[in-house]
Homo-oligomer: A and B are copies of this chain.
């Protein structure tokens, strides 16, 4: 199985980072199959949403609404609100598969692959890309 790890730096702000171009480059020339996008972090997820028209910023806001930082979390490590970061991957999974035909992801016009990371404590982040040939 073709598998490789992207590594990048996020800042000390919650981030919704478009990684579509990197995934597209990974599958180019690989024929038909499924690409699996996986982040090996306990406080981040992968979303397929539109970027560039406000929805990526909307997602970070609505995450704070759905999973309030001030909820009475037991988890006490890290910055205030870090308990919320730790339940996020149950709702926004760190694993998604995307169909690939002739080396191209079959995304819709408005879909991007987005790394969603509310965690402000750890700026070094990884995403593993794996290709399963069909």
Contact = CB atoms under 8 A, between A and B. Distances in A.
Contacts of A101: 1, 3
Nearest to A65: B71
A90 to B, nearest CB: 4
A3 B98 CA distance: 12
B41 A54 contact: no
Interface in A55-92: 55, 57-59, 61-62, 65-68, 71-77, 83, 86-87, 89-92
A96 B16 CA distance: 21
Interface stretch (A6-14, A21-29, A104-112): A104-112
B55 A83 contact: yes
A37 to B, nearest CB: 10
